[in-house]
Chain A
Amino acid sequence: MRTLIKKGRILNPATNLDVVADLLIEDDKVSKIAENIETEADEVIDAEGKWVTPGFIDLHVHLRDPGFEYKETIETGSRAAAAGGFTSICCMPNTNPVIDSEIMVEYINLRAARGAVVNVLPIGAITKGQKGEELAEIGKMAKAGACAISEDGKSVMNAGLLKTAMNYSKMFNIPVLSHCEDKALVGGGVMNAGVQSQIMGLKGISNDSEDVIAARDIILAETTGAKLHLCHVSTRGSVQLLREAHERGVNVTAECCPHHFTLSDEAVTSYDANTKMNPPLRSNEDVEALRNALKDNTINVIATDHAPHSIDEKNCEYDKAAFGIVGLETAFALGETVLVEGGYLTPMGLIEKMTINPAKVLGIDKGDISEGKIADIAIIDPEAVYKIDASKFESKGKNTPFDGYEVKGKVLYTIVGGKTVFEKGTIK
């Protein structure tokens, strides 16, 4: 099987390659990149004026399977990923049962092999049942293919236990993905604490609820030497802590979600729960700090925190509604619209944060489309301007605050291991 991509602008941050050229895929590998490749091919894609990039890698996805298949399944989530240009997605362990054992990791592997159209990399829980009491089977999960460990959805509040997990995880060279949230400081809040929460009369979530745990976890990463990665950073305080940690040489990376760099809490103007997520949409000052942190690489990864929910879980009282929004099918467009058009990142800088950087966090050989590498590729029309239409999402979840939002940048093709899985709006 040979696929020839003609005349695209190849953007490969792993080698800092930015060139208009042809790219030939043979079977599952990139076999050649050259100015003009004349050869027989099963499929020829005209990519003139388009970007040809490594397929995106998302460190933070909720596939809801097993236990909440009415929200999403591994299959539907993977289709959403393909539609968004993602070729590898890491699924969080807060399922039912929790992914906290070898057998659960194998379940994800099996389901992914049967029905997923992109690579699915399971993330194991840090503690059994995410109860924060005893260590999960971290080693066995890592051997079965878990790419990281995380307690996402909450923090391991017992600092001693987390320190043990960090120490233990080092043996398997997997990162600890840390959701930073002190529930006692959240105190039942449902949106950012600030002027807007005062206007709305909704209970606020203060920045310190994230900052205190971010500080704690950075200190523990420093003392243990573990690979720490902060999930969905939303506050300027966390950004400051990351900067200081990097100056000291602490092994800590971080991700930011498109909704957090796009919208502030001023988007919470009605009691429409599509603006409700955790961490919440923060103040304008925080949004600006996040954009600048992406610019100077204090935050090196963009991840979606794709969190599908059913309509009923969102179309209800704001306090009762579930936290979270879907993100796989809007991530790239928001990145280009806000960060590239806004002058914070170059196209290469944006692609880097969605490909090679997350691959480096995991320590996997992906996110690079040099010759000989696996052919996980996205082809993008950077000029396409359109309105997001949630009803067209591949994801079961239509819960997004971006329905009707005008954006620039559209994923046209997604190729996984040399196989075209998404082409111009359709999963193949």
Chain B
Amino acid sequence: MLKHKDVLGLREMSKEEILEILDVAQEMKKRIDNPKLRVDELKHTTVVTLFYENSTRTKTSFSLAGKYLGATVQDLGIATSSVNKGESLIDTGKTLDQMGVHVMIMRNSLTGAPHVLARNVDAHVINAGDGANEHPTQALLDLYTIRDYKKNFEGLKVAIIGDISHSRVARSNVFGLSKLGAEVTLAGPSTMLGGLGKLGIKTTSSIKEAVTDADVVMGLRIQFERQKTISFPGLEEYRQLFGVSGEILKYAKKDVLVMHPGPVNRGIEFTTDVVDGRNSVINIQVKNGLAVRMAILKLLMTGGSKA
């Protein structure tokens, strides 16, 4: 049973809620693999996706998650909507509310935008990424993937490497992994480490140190679109000092999981042999993402608190 009307972030989610989502996702994954198991349990549910920022996998994944559960899924093409006429987020939300929309899934470049929307609409709001704040469904699919291979989180060493300061994925993962008992190390250039260290998370600029004995190595994309001024001198320097190669990966545990939320800048965060190597679960993460999103939709519509 989810405690809130909305899924806005892992910061406000309890350990029990996280584990419940992962459990339901396990059921959902079977339905992805076997279409015959799919039931239209959300037949009377209408889901709208509002993506104020570009996305391939998250939007498609949410859209299919709704469809596999039998819901009506509609994308509000922001580019062709009244948003372009200057309509406010709150007004857009209230308009959709009147049309009987049950779930609004939003991505927005502004931190807290889903929270503002959620306060102003009756519909459930799912955060599909807000600014550099949170991307809860990505973190949940990462947690699902980790649990699938490692069984539990207690004492697990997780290295998250790359552009931490601009990463909502890192933040959501830090909140989730910490609640579940994993030991997180954040690594990257000092100018990209951000301030999560202030919350007591271990940080380092030595990639080797971060990777050593790691159970999970998660790479993050350098978000060129969020950088006003680039925080490092050049790609070649980044590659040499902060990229994860097969050589570096040897310092990790033998059964290390290599993860990345995608899209990957091949040869920058990870060398190609790491992306495509035997420890990589990058493609499996995508399927798990669909399962997690189905689980959230199901939980919100069948048991989510309206309070």
Contact = CB atoms under 8 A, between A and B. Distances in A.
Interface string B3-23: 000000101000000000000
A203 interface: yes
Contacts of A199: 11, 199
A204 to B, nearest CB: 7
A197 B195 CA distance: 9
Interface string A190-215: 00011101111111100000000000
A365 interface: no
Given A201-B168, A202-B133, A270-B115, A317 B110 contact: yes
B125 interface: no
Nearest to A318: B112
A91 to B, nearest CB: 29
Nearest to B194: A198
B88 interface: yes
A316 B168 contact: no
A317 B132 contact: no
Which of A199, A204, A271, A315 has the most chain B CB atoms closer than 10 A to its own CB?
A271
Contacts of B9: 201
Contacts of B130: 201
B76 interface: no
Contacts of A204: 195
Which of B110, B131, B171, B228 has the most chain A CB atoms closer than 10 A to its own CB?
B110
A428 interface: no
A317 B195 contact: no
Contacts of A194: 195, 198
Given A187-B228, A316-B116, A319-B131, A203 B111 contact: yes
A247 B34 CA distance: 79
A49 interface: no
Nearest to B133: A201
Interface string B99-121: 00000000010111101100000
B78 interface: no
Nearest to A198: B195
A316 B90 contact: yes
B82 to A, nearest CB: 16
Interface residues of B, number: 25
B111 A318 contact: yes
Which of A188, A197, A201, A270 has the most chain B CB atoms closer than 10 A to its own CB?
A201
A312 interface: yes
Interface in B221-244: 228
B131 A200 contact: no
A133 B115 CA distance: 41
A320 interface: yes
Nearest to B166: A203
Contacts, number: 64
B113 A317 contact: yes
A202 B112 contact: yes
B39 interface: no
B112 A200 contact: yes
A193 B195 contact: yes
Contact of B110 (A195, A200, A319): A319
B96 interface: no
B22 to A, nearest CB: 23
A197 B133 CA distance: 10
B14 to A, nearest CB: 16
Which of A194, A204, A315, A317 has the most chain B CB atoms closer than 10 A to its own CB?
A317
Contacts of B108: 317
A396 B198 CA distance: 39
A319 B111 contact: yes
B37 interface: no
Given A271-B111, A317-B112, A198 B90 contact: no
A235 B111 CA distance: 25
B196 interface: yes
Nearest to B11: A199
A198 B9 CA distance: 14
Contacts of A318: 110-112, 116
Interface string B73-98: 00000000000000011100000000
Interface string A165-208: 00000000000000000000001100001110111111110000
B111 A195 contact: no
Contacts of B90: 315-316
Contact of A200 (B89, B111, B168, B194): B111
Contacts of A187: 228
A361 B133 CA distance: 43
Contact of A202 (B89, B111, B116, B194): B111
B134 interface: yes
A284 B136 CA distance: 30
A319 B112 contact: yes
A271 B195 contact: no
A195 B130 CA distance: 19
Given A312-B88, A316-B90, A271 B131 contact: no
A198 B199 contact: yes
Contacts of A315: 90, 116
A312 B11 CA distance: 28
A184 to B, nearest CB: 9
A271 B113 CA distance: 8
Nearest to A194: B198
A312 B120 CA distance: 13
Nearest to A201: B133
A195 B199 contact: yes
A271 B196 contact: no
Contact of A320 (B110, B132, B134, B198): B110
Contacts of B199: 195, 198-199
B109 to A, nearest CB: 8
Contacts of A202: 111-112, 131, 133
Given A201-B133, A204-B195, 4 more contacts: A198-B199, A201-B168, A316-B88, A319-B112
Interface of B: 9, 11, 88-90, 108, 110-113, 115-116, 130-134, 168, 171, 194-196, 198-199, 228
**What 4 A-B pairs have minimum CB-CB distances, sorted nearest first?**
A201-B133, A271-B112, A319-B110, A317-B110
Interface of A: 187-188, 193-195, 197-204, 270-271, 312, 315-320
11 contacts: A194-B195, A194-B198, A195-B195, A197-B195, A201-B111, A203-B111, A203-B132, A270-B115, A271-B116, A316-B88, A319-B110
